[in-house]
Chain A
Amino acid sequence: MKLPIYMDNHATTPVDPRVFKAMIPYFTDTFGNAASRNHSFGWVAEDAVEKARKQVAELIGATAKEIVFTSGATESDNLALKGVAEMYAEKGNHIITAATEHKAILDTCKRLEKEGYKVTYLPVETNGLVDLDKLRAAMTDKTILVSIMYANNEIGVLQPVAEISKIAKERGALFHTDATQAIGKVPVDVIKDGIDLASISAHKMYGPKGVGALYVRRRNPRVQLTAQMDGGGHERGMRSGTLNVPGIVGLGEACAIAKAEMSEEIKRMSYLRDKLKARLMSSLDEVYINGTMEHRLPNNLNISFAYVEGESLLMGINEIAVSSGSACTSATLEPSYVLKALGAGDDLAHSSIRFGLGRFNTEEEVDYVAAKVIDVVQKLRELSPLYEMHKEGIDLTKVQWTAH
């Protein structure tokens, strides 16, 4: 086993060597511009792009013509939201999303609000899921788009997208999902799930950084978008810019591998994740899981070690790459807004660690991580005045703190 151990696969994943191998020729030998229609260099590149388009489509039950390549999921989210808002402005000006979405959605919505659109940010329940009745109540005749993520990037919870899309459709709204964390990890089917637009990223599924896609439905209904990038009219006019051929080939290959290996990988990830969870919870008291375990990505564990501050825990396990919702680890000095939205309290957000397992993690690594985390949490609790008070039976919620 080699140190450091990477267990932050929601942030990014390494490129699978098979994906890398597929990409290599497109940097040097077959470097053509896929838009060059008059020579073989262009044709070879175009063939590679079209093969990748088919591979992406097949992973999610779509057709190749419904895939628009982008620079990544942030661009896909921007294109979906802004593109729909602009195209359907005459029909309505209302968008519904959720408080726990990624910033690529939330900040795009804020931009649209400045431009005069109305946005409803649905709260989530303590399990991290959207309440369907609250969604129904928020829908109006002016609602043109509902955008709810498939799987959350911090707590890994899977939203009931099929039910959400049904509610959106009953009122004539489109349904977009930021499926960055879900695609390639769990089965996503645009037909069964009733998805009209879906954002896809390559680097979260063992593909390269800097490439992604937006699924745009072509039938029942035919979704139209106003392009946000003007130029040569690539990607059926929805996204101009010379195609990133090696990146797109990598995304396609990553999708093909994910499709072939998903059922095995789900089993392996669930086993490792559940083992990690069981080890931590049997050795430590006052440990809380953030978000429902019932509807969750198989590779995610988000857990709060009460009375221990997240950054100090990361410092103690510095040979293990994971993330914390603690304010001290973020640039904003605010604890995770996702955990705050669950209503668990800021103190538990400060104590949270996100484990993101991946294809290349081994059982030996999981055992090492569990033992190391248990050891450091115990040491830090020896140092923690809050753990001492808890052991003395003091109710910390009733203490008069001197906030600073």
Chain B
Amino acid sequence: MAYSDKVLDHYNNPRNVGSFDKKDPNVGTGMVGAPECGDVMKLQVKVNPATGIIEDAKFKTFGCGSAIASSSLATEWLRGKTVDEALAIKNTDIVNELSLPPVKIHCSVLAEDAIKAAIDDYKKKSENVGVESKAHA
């Protein structure tokens, strides 16, 4: 199979590889996929609680080159977006940007799921922080 230049670029120079501390209240972690399916993506966002802006994003991916590229691209797009803007990223945007063939569309779906899971995790954490602080008050 031939890979697009953009997939190759992300595969050869993946952006924002790494991990944040999961316990940090400003960090949202999304982990999607399963080893037996051949793809697992971990995507993390670090949100500024005052502005609601994603200041940093990191990923680690077990999967094919297209899965690595999809998650690498997602971290690039997430940085600087608000949480709500991030939720508007669609898998089809990733498909178009990376010129993914039909058999690799599931990689983009997984990346969208990972974004949603990470934001969801962050929101749950910040709500809990709110509840706790009220309880203490």
Which residues does A use to contact B, with CB under 8 Å? 307-309, 311-312, 315-316, 326-328, 333, 335, 345-347, 350, 382-388, 396, 401-404
Contact = CB atoms under 8 A, between A and B. Distances in A.
Contacts of B78: none
Closest 9 CB pairs of A and B: A401-B34, A346-B36, A347-B35, A385-B42, A385-B60, A311-B64, A350-B38, A328-B64, A315-B65
A311 B36 contact: no
B38 A383 contact: no
B86 interface: no
Contacts of B103: 333
23 contacts: A307-B62, A308-B62, A309-B62, A309-B67, A311-B65, A312-B67, A316-B11, A328-B38, A335-B38, A346-B35, A346-B37, A350-B36, A383-B14, A384-B60, A384-B61, A385-B40, A386-B35, A388-B60, A402-B31, A403-B34, A404-B32, A404-B110, A404-B113
If over half of A's interface residues share one DSSP class (helix, strand or loop), that class is named, otherwise mixed; here it is helix
Contacts of A403: 33-34, 36-37
B35 to A, nearest CB: 4
B23 to A, nearest CB: 13
A157 to B, nearest CB: 23
Contacts of A345: 36
A312 B68 contact: yes
Interface in B11-37: 11, 14, 17, 19, 31-37
Nearest to B113: A404
A307 B35 CA distance: 8
Contact of B40 (A312, A327, A401): A401
Query: What is the size category of the interface that chain B forms with chain A?
Result: 20 to 34
A383 B36 contact: no
Contacts of B125: none
B73 to A, nearest CB: 14
Contacts of B19: 388
Interface string B87-120: 0000000000000000100100110010001000
Interface of B: 3, 11, 14, 17, 19, 31-42, 60-65, 67-68, 103, 106, 109-110, 113, 117
Contacts of B35: 346-347, 350, 386, 396, 401
Contacts, number: 89
If over half of B's interface residues share one DSSP class (helix, strand or loop), that class is named, otherwise mixed; here it is mixed
B38 A327 contact: yes
A316 B8 CA distance: 10
A383 B61 contact: yes
A164 B33 CA distance: 42
Nearest to B41: A385
Contacts of B32: 402, 404
A336 B1 CA distance: 18
A382 B61 CA distance: 9
A396 B65 CA distance: 22
Contacts of A316: 11
Nearest to B34: A401
A345 B41 CA distance: 19
Given A311-B64, A385-B62, A402-B33, A326 B17 contact: no
Given A328-B38, A404-B106, A404-B109, A315 B60 contact: no
B39 to A, nearest CB: 7
Nearest to B18: A382
A402 B19 CA distance: 20
B39 A347 contact: no
Contact of A385 (B11, B61, B106, B110): B61
A385 B31 contact: yes
Given A335-B38, A404-B33, A383 B64 contact: no
A396 B106 CA distance: 22
Nearest to B109: A404
A308 B31 CA distance: 17
B68 A383 contact: yes
Nearest to A334: B38
A327 B103 CA distance: 11
Contacts of B113: 402, 404
Contacts of B17: 382-383
Nearest to B42: A385
Contacts of A384: 60-62
A312 B8 CA distance: 11
Residue with the highest number of chain B CB atoms closer than 10 Å, among A347, A385, A387, A404: A385
